[in-house]
Amino acid sequence: MKKLAIIIMTSFLMITIIPVHSTAANVTNANIPATEKTTESIESQKMLSRLNFINNMDKSEMSRAEKRTLRKEVQSIKKHLDGYQGVYISVGAAIIIVLLLILIF
């Protein structure tokens, strides 16, 4: 009975994975729009250059209020840049991963 369940699970996985894998070879990169990634990378590059400019500034002649505004600007830029980094998993993907782990072990 356990062998039958393993055979059924393996055949189901092969049926679902192999067609997707075979059609992936036919897809070209020209069809994929890359506008979102390029705009995000351009914005992040601008923010990083601004951070480098602020770090290289001579702050000894600045007033206290100017330093405070620069500090707030640096903090907001860092928060904005941290939002771009990271890996996000959808709820459906998390459920599938948990079910597969339960079935395997």
What does 45-81 look like in DSSP terms, one character per residue? HHHHHHHHHHHTS--TTS-HHHHHHHHHHHHHHHHHH
pLDDT in tens, 32-55: 555 555 667 788 889 899 999 999
Torsion sign across C-alpha atoms 77, 79, 83, 86: positive
Please check whether residue 77 is in contact with residue 47, taking contact to mean a CB–CB distance below 8 angstroms.
yes
pLDDT of the residue at 81: 81
Greatest Cα-to-Cα distance within the chain, rounded to the nearest angstrom: 80
Q: What is the pTM of this model?
A: 0.43
Chain centroid to Cα 86, Å, comes to 5
Structure tokens that stand for 85 in this block: 């980094």
